[in-house]
Chain A
């Protein structure tokens, strides 16, 4: 069964304090791993897509990496505006579709000034 587990559930950082969020996954044939940012009460905002182990992508203070079993979202020198819930998802054939997403529960990041 395809599954995504994110840790930690919540993370509190001081402004400028770098850290990493973890996403462990089990899926029969990875066809894409996705990171989204979600602000309270809003829809997920796309950040990155990773397709193969060893792949890395960067955007401003965020860097996503992928291994065969997990992905990391590294946050360098975070700012208060980086506070949000970060969701990890993988493509799955669950339910008979070609490409629906299985999500983790997310990591709620709070960055204090």
Chain B
């Protein structure tokens, strides 16, 4: 069974640029959630995708957007990068259903200069 994978591992961008992060969900999972984790903080919910549609969104501006593909993999896109976007971006997959456990990938470390 393959776990959650994310790419790239690390990324350095400059302010104003755009970035795309990728996530492959665990086998058998149809729901993907994205989180942002700043240094020393717990992960913050960005949004969730189920069957290729956004299924809930946290307190993040519209320049954070995403996609889910038919194979349940997902992308997180961030436009007009700001310095505060520097963080560890985490993808988690789960099976649809209340209370289901979310399994996390290794994360993508984004640094905005």
A residues bordering B, Cβ < 8 Å?
4, 31-32, 34, 36, 41-46, 49, 51, 87, 89, 91, 93-106
Q: Which residues of A contact B55 (CB under 8 A)?
A: 96-98
Q: Which residues of B contact A105 (CB under 8 A)?
A: 40-42
Most buried by B among A43, A96, A103, A106: A43
Given the interface contacts A94-B58, A98-B55, A100-B48, does A46 sit within 8 Å of B101 by beta carbon? yes
B residues bordering A, Cβ < 8 Å?
4, 6, 31, 33, 35, 40-45, 47-48, 55-59, 88, 90, 92, 94, 96-107, 109
Q: Are B58 and A103 in contact (CB under 8 A)?
A: no
Kindly state the separation between the CA atoms of A83 and B109 in the bound complex, as whole angstroms. 22
Given the interface contacts A43-B105, A95-B45, does A100 sit within 8 Å of B99 by beta carbon? no
Closest residue of chain A to B48, judged by CB? A97
Q: Which residues of B contact A97 (CB under 8 A)?
A: 33, 45, 47-48, 55-57
Given the interface contacts A49-B101, A94-B58, does A101 sit within 8 Å of B107 by beta carbon? no
**A-B contacts besides A34-B101, A93-B56, 19 pairs, CB < 8 Å:** A4-B42, A32-B98, A32-B100, A32-B101, A42-B106, A44-B90, A46-B104, A49-B101, A91-B98, A96-B55, A98-B55, A98-B56, A98-B96, A99-B97, A100-B33, A101-B92, A101-B102, A104-B42, A105-B41
Most buried by B among A4, A97, A106: A97
